[in-house]
Amino acid sequence: MAINQDDLLKELLEDFRIEAEEHLVSISEGLLKLENSLDSPDISVLESVYRETHSLKGAARAVNLTDTEKLCMVMENIMSSIKNGEAVIFESLFDIMYKSVDSLRLMLSSLKETGKEKRIPNFQQLIKNLEYIHKVSLEKEGGGKKESKPAKKELKRVLFDNKNDENIERDENKDSAPVISSEHETIRVSVSKLNKILDQTEDLIAIKSTLAFYKTELESINFKLADDRLSNLYGDLTRFIRVANRMVDDLILDVKSTLLLPFSTILNIVPRMVRDLAREKDKEINVEITGDHFLIDKRILEELKDPLVHLIRNCADHGIESSLQRERSGKGKNGKILIKVSKEADAKLSLLISDDGGGIKVDKVVNSAIKNGIIDEVRASLLSDDEKVNLIFSSGVSSSEMITEISGRGLGMAIVAEKISNLGGSVHVKSQEGKGTTFIIKIPQTIATFRALLVRCGEKQFLIPTLFIDKVVGVSPDDILTSGHRASLIVSGEHIGLVDLGLSLGLNETSSKDVKVLPALILNSNGKKMAFKVDEILEEIEGIIKPLGSQLKSIKKITGVTMVGNGILIPVVNVSELIEYAVGGMNSGSDKIKIKGITEQKQRVLIVEDSITVRSMLKSIVESAGYETEVAVDGVDGYNKLTDGNFDAVVTDIEMPNMNGFELTSKIKGDKKFSDIPVILVTTLESQKDMQRGLEAGANAYIVKGSFEKSNLTDTIRRLI
């Protein structure tokens, strides 16, 4: 049978793509280890980076990826010179090596779609930079200042004393082949195939449910007829169902195990990410990771990646202070981020992410929550310190001192909490001002079999995942407390909002009014609790959630459907969305309407900008958002108009004649009459140093014109006033 060359090349490229990522991860890890031990580099790490680069070069050559091969060759030459003692390691070398690894990832990112390398515009310059850094490294060894030179004799001993290293070239070529041994044979299977097998296997749970339904029906008939043959048939069916259930459960468990990956799969990017961010922010941060060998479902790991990256970036960016600030406060100049994975008694995995930075400013979090209508001042006064700091997971709440393009908008943490909650997990935070912050994530190791309570609202039935159910209580009219349009219960000394599930899901019918006591489910999603009345709790169901599909993706508060009984499809409630909508509804009652009535008068914004074109553009954007505006041509003009008028916010450029934006901001914040007026800097200056100057001057937000979107400005104004 003739081999289709196109299919063969496609298969080879897929194998190469997977193999290349493994090599790039190893190279990155090796470079980080070398950079952290410049004075005494580990010879085995040098050798490892060299081999990984060499193997990637050879694999690229095999599939005709010439640019990848060329870039790897230059990198390999550098590592070869260093490991042979002909060149030295020095700090600047690592920046270009990391850049090369990033470029390789970018070049190979299009393989799956196009089968070709992505062309990068600076490729030739990258090669020249590598060749130049190689030359410098050789010259430093040749006669200049010698830095971190490995001893030649030591290198030779490590390379050739071991009998297993006699055929290095042969071993390197084997790296790219499937691993085969007499004890553990392995093959490469695409994840999509495994996912398909798992989906089909999990569908067997519906068969379990159907068998259980028919067993119940048969039991009822047998009880009425008392027939011996029917009784025997019922006994046989019961035994068969018991065996079938065990076989299905074992099969699902075994298939799920094929999709388990170590946490290191995503955590291996953290040291490099923190290193780059620390250099950008002029900080020094050490990263310690333990327990990353624990296995977790690949599907959970993929969804967990973005929340983890966000939390870790927050620790490095906002949590840990600059080296100078740390020394002033009596800390060591090096900050520390600890990431620890462990297994809990309930078979869940615990992921701890902590930093020894400045901690979360709880007062700012509470004020932000009150300002955004999440809680009121009375409720805030009743919260414990832990409850206050966990408000950061509410949408719109932020403790950031200044809003920028990428932070301070109060959305990131809310998204983190939502994603983790949707995975069946939870996230909590503990923080001590001046000491540091710890995030604790609890997450299931695998996507667990779905269990839910089947409830009735009027004539409709819904499934509520048991994962989100704190408890079930009976509610009588005497138990309900009302305030305006809000209803609540007191459960175990805690005030919990009460709403009707049917109404929350858009049904016209409310719960039965002729029943004295109705069941209510206390639902909890990431610390947000709400009670929902239902007409009846029918039974607990085991099943698999099937998504609604693209045609129904706009439906809110429903996450999918599950087949129960003899094939009936029941909607599964999205508890996180349900609670968010319910809380939003309760916070938009008559009290808030009255407040809006008082503030119906248009708010005024002062725009300070020396460019007539930009000034006109900003004026148009702000007025289209419903604000009144006045304009000023520079800082002096702006401050004079501020003293003569009544403004709710100031939007100002930085680079202006007479008085620049930094000076204007300092003057506004230094005047007691105007210090509470928010100042928003809109500028072309995008360096971290300039942002820091804006923060020190007292600016409330910093927006860069280069990435400017009008919604950024109007959203920022709305948030601040």
Whether 79 and 200 share a structural domain? no
Token pair listed for 664:
């204007």
Structure confidence at residue 148 (pLDDT): 46
Average pLDDT over every residue of 585-610: 58
pLDDT in tens, 187-211: 666 677 777 787 777 777 777 877 8
- What is the arithmetic mean of pLDDT over 618-636? 89
CB 646 within 8 A of CB 619: no
**Last residue of a domain, which of 258, 290, 306?**
258
Q: Give a yes or no: residue 598 inside a domain.
A: no
Specify the CATH number for the domain of residue 557.
2.40.50.180
Helix, strand, coil fractions of the chain, as percent rounded to 5:
50, 20, 30
> What is the per-residue pLDDT for 245?
83
- Does an H or E element contain 65, and which? none
Which residue, of 591, 614, 631, is where some domain finishes?
A: 591
Average pLDDT over the chain reads 80
Would residue 520 count as lying in a domain?
yes
Residue 297 counted as domain residue: yes
Q: Which helix (H) or strand (E) holds 127?
A: helix 123-142
**536 φ/ψ angles, rounded to the nearest 5 degrees:** -160, 145
Q: Does position 28 have pLDDT exceeding 80, yes or no?
A: yes
Given this model, what pLDDT does residue 594 score? 33
536 and 517: one domain? Answer: yes
* Percentage of residues in the chain having pLDDT higher than 90: 17
In a domain, 182, yes or no: no
Query: Which pLDDT does position 69 carry in this prediction?
Result: 92
Task: Note whether 27 and 142 are same-domain residues.
Answer: yes
Report the pLDDT averaged over residues 633-638.
92
Task: Tell which residue, 101, 102, 119, has the closest CA to residue 110.
Answer: 119
- Amino acid 184: pLDDT: 47
DSSP 272: H
In a domain, 185, yes or no: no
Q: Both 615 and 709 in a single domain?
A: yes
In this predicted structure, the answer to whether residue 428 has a pLDDT above a threshold of 50 is yes
- Which residue has tokens 């030649």? 152
Is 50 in contact with 79 (CB distance < 8 Å)? Answer: yes
Please give the Cα distance from 702 to 704 (Å, whole number): 7
The domain that holds 92 is classified in CATH as 1.20.120.160
Contact at 8 Å (CB) between 683 and 708?
Answer: no
Q: Poorest-confidence range of 20-29, 266-275, 324-333, 510-519?
A: 510-519
Q: How many domains is the chain built from?
A: 5
Which among 373-387, 406-420, 584-598 has the top mean pLDDT?
373-387
Residues 164 and 253 in one domain: no
What is the full DSSP assignment across 327-377? HHTTS-SEEEEEEEEEE-TTSEEEEEEEE-SS---HHHHHHHHHHTTSS-H
Q: What mean pLDDT do residues 661-690 have?
A: 88
Q: Which stretches of 315-439 are DSSP H helices?
A: 323-328, 362-371, 377-382, 385-389, 412-422
pLDDT score for 175: 35
Domain contains 179? no
Is 657 inside any structural domain?
Answer: yes
Helices 66-83 and 123-142: crossing angle in degrees, nearest 10, is 10
Are 460 and 580 members of one domain? yes
Domain boundary (174, 204, 223) is at: 174
Query: Is there a single domain that holds both residue 244 and residue 271?
Result: no
The confidence score (pLDDT) of residue 484 equals: 58
pLDDT mean over 638-655:
90
For the segment 121-144, the average pLDDT, to the nearest whole number, is 83
Per-residue pLDDT reduced to its tens digit, 551-560:
776 788 888 8
Bigger pLDDT: 439 vs 600: 439
- Check whether 675 has a pLDDT greater than 60: yes
- In the numeric block, which tokens belong to residue 466? 């048991």
Does one domain contain both 380 and 396? yes
Whether the predicted pLDDT of 166 surpasses 70: no
SS3 584: helix
Q: Which two tokens stand for residue 154?
A: 């030591």
- CATH number at 341 reads 3.30.565.10
DSSP 707: G
Summarize the confidence of residues 273-280 as an average pLDDT. Answer: 86
Co-location of 641 and 579 in the same domain: no
Taken as a whole, the chain contains a residue count of 721
Residues 210, 134: one domain?
A: no
Highest mean predicted confidence (pLDDT) among 34-38, 231-235, 572-576, 637-641: 637-641
Element housing 685 (H / E): none
> Which structural domain, as residue segments, surrounds residue 429?
261-444
Determine the pLDDT at residue 596.
34
Q: What is the CATH number of the domain that holds 705?
A: 3.40.50.2300
- In a 3-state reduction of DSSP, which class is residue 531? strand
Name the residue with higher pLDDT: 394 or 574. Answer: 574
Q: If you average pLDDT over residues 310-333, what whole number do you get?
A: 88
Q: What is the mean pLDDT of residues 9-32?
A: 85
Give the single-character DSSP code of 563: E
pTM of the predicted model as reported, rounded to 2 decimal places: 0.59
Residues of 388-406 as b/e, b for ≥16 C-beta within 10 angstroms? bbbbbbbbebbbbebbbbe
Q: What is the largest CA-CA distance in the chain?
A: 103
Whether the predicted pLDDT of 168 surpasses 50: no
At 348-387, the pLDDT tens digits run: 899 999 999 989 888 888 888 887 777 778 778 878 888 8
If you average pLDDT over residues 631-645, what whole number do you get? 91
Question: Residue 564's closest CA among 446, 421, 455?
Answer: 455
Confidence (pLDDT) at 170? 31
pLDDT of residue 5: 58
HSE toward the beta carbon, residue 674, CA cutoff 13 A: 24
In 143-277, the DSSP E strands lie at 260-262
Which of residues 596 and 493 earns the better pLDDT score? 493
Q: 579-588: per-residue pLDDT in tens?
A: 877 765 554 4
Can you tell me the distance from the alpha carbon of 288 to that of 284, in angstroms, rounded to the nearest whole number? 14
Is there a single domain that holds both residue 124 and residue 226?
no
Mean pLDDT of 598-606: 71
* Residue 689 pLDDT: 80
Give the pLDDT of residue 507: 83
Question: Is 83 within a domain?
Answer: yes
What torsion, rounded to 10 degrees, do the Cα atoms 440, 445, 449, 450 define? Answer: 20
Q: How much is the pLDDT for 490?
A: 84
| Average pLDDT over every residue of 89-98 | 88
Give yes or no: residues 284 and 385 share one domain: yes
For 187, other C-beta atoms within 10 Å of its C-beta total 7
